[in-house]
Amino acid sequence: MTYCLGLYLEEGLVFLSDTRTNAGVDNVSTYCKMHHFHEDQERLIVLLSSGNLAVTQAVLHRVTSSNLRLNEEVEKSPKNLREVADLYQAAELVGDAVREVYQHDGKALEAQGAGFQVSFLLGGQIRGEPMRLFQIYSAGNFIEATIDTPFLQIGEHKYGKPILDRVVKYQTSIQDGIKLSLISMDSTLRSNLSVGMPVDLLIYERDSFQSSMRRRIDETDPYFQNLRGYWSSALQHAYQQAPDPDWQE
């Protein structure tokens, strides 16, 4: 499994993904689930993946290849993420690729009991267009983050969602977004063994058309160690200071 999240903030976008993949308890490996496509001062598009690794790789190949299309009806459509005119078209391209992979591999996977499980977060900005963030489902359909819903998650999201629900707003600063994303990831790491370090972080500042930070964070990272220790202590202090129940018999 995996955990990936994207924050849609007034200042920009925060992307975070873990790197653990597994095919059973004795076959665990590390794989980067964060992919970005950058053309200087023109566009930056980030794609985070979750689900069956073979399926996500097949989709990634289709949206980066210059000539691989299964559906002849879309021959005149953009063939890869470097050709799309806006982020909505990019989300459509990824959704089409998901359907194409299902058409090619779906029945064989289901026959083996593997199922067809895949989802993506896609965000960024193209010059002349607004910054956007989308979540793409295994059916190829998608939703978009908004001012009222300023974050999206894929994979094992339930453990890291409460802190985001309580705190993240569209007006949250990028620096606070980084802290909250890492706290959300730490909560997931502590509660689910299928999510694992290292984690990949990418920051995009609105209208910059380039990443302002891309960093791989492992267990030895001093800031992450300090943050997870501080958060654990803060939670213990908070519950200790909370009022005791005063219910009467």
- The tens digit of pLDDT for each residue in 186-233 reads 999 999 988 999 999 999 999 999 999 999 999 999 999 999 999 999
The answer to whether position 246 is within a domain reads: no
Asked, for residue 7, whether it belongs to a domain, the answer is yes
Range of the domain at 130: 3-240
Question: SS3 of 35, please?
Answer: strand
Among 104, 124, 114, which residue's Cα sits nearest to residue 61? 104
Say whether pLDDT at 13 is over 70.
yes
pLDDT at 40: 82
Asked which of 13-22, 111-120, 132-141, 209-218 is least confident by mean pLDDT, the reply is 111-120
If you average pLDDT over residues 174-197, what whole number do you get? Answer: 95
Most confident of 37-51, 63-77, 167-181: 167-181
Tens-place pLDDT, residues 150-168: 999 999 999 999 999 999 9
In a domain, residue 84? The reply is yes
Contact, 98 vs 118, CB < 8 A? yes
- Nearest alpha-carbon partner for 131 in 76, 192, 90, 75: 90
User: Are the C-beta atoms of residues 28 and 189 closer than 8 Å to each other?
Assistant: no
pLDDT band at 67 (very low <50, low <70, confident <90, very high): low
Share of the chain above pLDDT 70, in %: 92
Going by pLDDT thresholds of 50, 70 and 90, the confidence category of residue 113 is confident
What is the per-residue pLDDT for 194? 83
- Residue 163 is predicted with a pLDDT of 96
Among 31-35, 192-196, 239-243, which is the least confidently predicted range?
192-196
Amino acid at 199: V
Check if the beta carbon of residue 81 is closer than 8 Å to that of residue 126: no
Q: Which of 36-40, 65-69, 70-74 has the lowest mean pLDDT?
A: 70-74
* Nearest-angstrom CA–CA distance, 136 and 227: 31
Q: What is the pLDDT of residue 180?
A: 98
Would you say residue 245 lies in a domain? no
What number is the average pLDDT over the span 75-91? 89
Q: What pLDDT is stored for residue 189 in this prediction?
A: 95
Q: How confident is the model at residue 71 (pLDDT cuts 50, 70, 90)?
A: low
CB atoms within 10 A of CB 70: 13
- The model carries a pTM of 0.92
Q: Residue written as tokens 């849609």? A: 8
- At 220 the pLDDT is 96
- Token pair of 174 as six digits: 């990028």
Residue 97 lies in a domain: yes
- The pair of structure tokens assigned to 71 is 């559906």
Q: Does the structure show a pLDDT above 90 at 101?
A: yes
Ordered DSSP codes for 164-209 = HHHH--TT--HHHHHHHHHHHHHHHHHH-TTS-S-EEEEEEETT--
Count of domains observed in the chain: 1
Query: Residue 181 pLDDT > 60, yes or no?
Result: yes
CATH of the domain at 129: 3.60.20.10
Residue 73 has pLDDT above 60, yes or no: no
Whether 247 maps to a domain, the answer reads: no
User: Helices (H), strands (E): how many in the chain?
Assistant: 6, 12
Q: Which residues pair with 47 in a beta bridge?
A: 35, 122
In a domain, 11, yes or no: yes
Q: Is residue 248 a part of any domain in this protein?
A: no
